[in-house]
Structure 1
């Protein structure tokens, strides 16, 4: 934000490293205040203010709920190095010149600052604001925001430990017992980064008369606190589903995966805004409330732990191994049509499925989705002679 006048042509905040996308705790925020004037202007003082604050604001009926926390407060009066000042500290700026006021300050240490955030009912923002004070005239001001991202390491023993749980529910129909459903699930760890796959091992049992569908989803939970009140905003980010389970049957997931989407890391250090994530494993029961098991997740900043690097190195070694096999030019077996159709059946079962309703009052009816087998896979064989000349043989 820049407030200009006819006398001032340019008045803006410029950071020393414009390509830097975010800062961490302990980093130095440095830059300059660039000023150009259209006519002779006397500046009595140039002040720089660095601010970082969290703010929550929402309405609860007729009551306005508002709360603020401050994480950064920096103030400084900056001077021009090569410009002589009068006895009162003021300087005269003349047209045709560019004047640069340098500033710099350090962010608080880890644990005393939180990441930038913008949500439905609150935000955490950081900015640098400059004030140009002039005699007998209102002060001019300009402001520029910068992002802060606190590192969150998910390679701690607590976040690397597995977690799981079990839930069961008795189902009734018109107050008459109708059996029960149960689920037992676990994951190998609680800490993940963006783009990683969560492997789910779960068992689902259905002894009621209805057809149930097991599902899993990554959800976010944003908690806002103001004036002693709490407001929670939940959102589903990504989801997967399994095959339907008829009465008297069970199903098991052995390493079913769901990928962590592009999301902000967990924010656990702010007193008035909290961002948490969970893996929700549940069973959709027509005509009844869902059976839900929530496993807590902590989303960390990418590139901190050795797991991401080891994954990339593993991928690289696999690709190198594949390249070495290709260099041998050994003929490979043609793809199996059975494998192709089996994969398709896993993605889209041949048997009818219940409509994908997540509401509590979803109707009980079947919906048969259309299914078509794919065409036979095309392939070719390479017949290599000792001389190294390869002849392509078309297979019909």
Structure 2
């Protein structure tokens, strides 16, 4: 049996369907039908949706769905809004819509998602047919523009007392980073200085870049869930790391930017976790949690699927020489 109706959405000059917030979405909606149809009109709707999964105290799972935005564009309609006959054939309808500046980035996680789509709707006399074409959105944010972001410096010390000795032996760790604001494709450099006066040898330092996702139930926002995703990690190992200073870089992969404020259904933060492992006693490990900001800017374009090209004068790649002593 031949098809009755086929639908397709093509985005102009954007085969991957990737946009930044505030971009103009231009495309063509294609409707191909082999039979005549009585319709009221044809519409293209650009829509953003957030959905979050929660489980209550009785183990009931509920899904909360929120509308981020919706814009309907009539592409074929009579002035008097009456039904008319659409003859068999192929019809192409141009559409365009500028995305809002403040919409969140597309996201898919363990407890929810944020997605966007262009929907073709054929409003027939007896029923309505729809076809959905997803597209991705990245929130365009440059946190550091117009403000000075100071370097990070953190310091911790522990007094280690071996079981065979009553003397307290101090262990001090200092961590520095030249900035707290980074872009995907840049490298976060951290300087780690270990001053160890104990008898224990420090043989391992773990560095992890972690995405922290907060799912909020609206409007009360009293119900929250968290998801932690390790997006990159590095390990420094040696026979003894004591008394030395190390500079270690960890690259920021392509990822969503840090959420602005705390008003979204899904909020994203980033932390660097640094753990200096002390042998024989995990309770004496020294741990640092350093919040960092991931920005997103339209001047960045993907290259080879992983790294990014920086072609905007406000973007500077951090170098280890800027860490100082």
TM-score (structure 2 length as normaliser): 0.77
In 2: Cα distance, 1:224 partner to 1:294 partner: 21
| Cα distance change on mapping 1:308 and 1:76 into 2, 3 Å | closer
- Say which SS state the counterpart of residue 161 (structure 1) adopts: coil
- Could you say what the CA RMSD is over the residues aligned between the two structures, in angstroms? 3.2
| Cα distance change on mapping 1:107 and 1:293 into 2, 3 Å | same
| Cα distance change on mapping 1:201 and 1:88 into 2, 3 Å | closer
Which structure has more helix as a fraction of its residues? Answer: 1
In 1: Cα distance, 2:146 partner to 2:275 partner: 27
Q: Which residue of 1 aligns with 2:53?
A: 57
Contact 2:174 2:194 in 1 (8 A): yes
- Say which SS state the counterpart of residue 19 (structure 2) adopts: coil
| Cα distance change on mapping 1:86 and 1:122 into 2, 3 Å | closer
Per-residue Cα deviation, 1:298-352 (whole angstroms, up to 9, x for no partner): 12234374265789xxxxxxxxxxxxxxxxxxxxxxxxxxxxxxxxxxxxxxxxx
Q: Residue 209 of structure 1: CA displacement?
A: 4.2
In 2: Cα distance, 1:279 partner to 1:15 partner: 38
Q: Which residue of 2 aligns with 1:91?
A: 84
Q: Residue 203 of structure 1: CA displacement?
A: 1.7
Q: Which residue of 1 aligns with 2:229?
A: 235
In 1: Cα distance, 2:179 partner to 2:79 partner: 65
Q: Which residue of 2 aligns with 1:30?
A: 26
Per-residue Cα deviation, 1:44-97 (whole angstroms, up to 9, x for no partner): 2223322113222143561436544433221233316xxxx59763232333x2
Q: Which residue of 1 aligns with 2:292?
A: 297
Per-residue Cα deviation, 1:4-63 (whole angstroms, up to 9, x for no partner): x96623122232334364222332223232112222222222233221132221435614
TM-score (structure 1 length as normaliser): 0.65
Q: Residue 157 of structure 1: CA displacement?
A: 6.0
| Cα distance change on mapping 1:231 and 1:292 into 2, 3 Å | same
Aligned positions of 1:5-16 closer than 5 A:
8-16=4-12
Aligned positions of 1:1-396 closer than 5 A:
8-19=4-15, 21-59=17-55, 62-64=59-61, 66-79=63-76, 89-95=82-88, 97-108=89-100, 110=101, 112-136=102-126, 138-156=127-145, 160-171=149-160, 179-212=169-202, 213-226=204-217, 228-236=222-230, 237-245=232-240, 250-254=242-246, 256-269=247-260, 271-285=264-278, 286-289=280-283, 290-301=285-296, 302=300, 303=310, 305-306=312-313, 308=315
In 1: Cα distance, 2:133 partner to 2:264 partner: 25
Q: Residue 295 of structure 1: CA displacement?
A: 1.6
Per-residue Cα deviation, 1:341-365 (whole angstroms, up to 9, x for no partner): xxxxxxxxxxxxxxxxxxxxxxxxx
Contact 1:197 1:257 in 2 (8 A): no
| Cα distance change on mapping 1:196 and 1:134 into 2, 3 Å | closer
Q: Which has the higher contact order (CA 8 A, sep 6+)?
A: 2
In 2: Cα distance, 1:64 partner to 1:231 partner: 13
Contact 2:139 2:257 in 1 (8 A): no
Aligned positions, number = 295
Per-residue Cα deviation, 1:187-212 (whole angstroms, up to 9, x for no partner): 11111223323332222133444333
In 1: Cα distance, 2:138 partner to 2:312 partner: 16
In 2: Cα distance, 1:20 partner to 1:188 partner: 35
Which structure has more strand as a fraction of its residues? Answer: 2
In 1: Cα distance, 2:148 partner to 2:16 partner: 30
In 2: Cα distance, 1:257 partner to 1:305 partner: 26
Unaligned 5+ segments in structure 2 are 301-309, 319-325
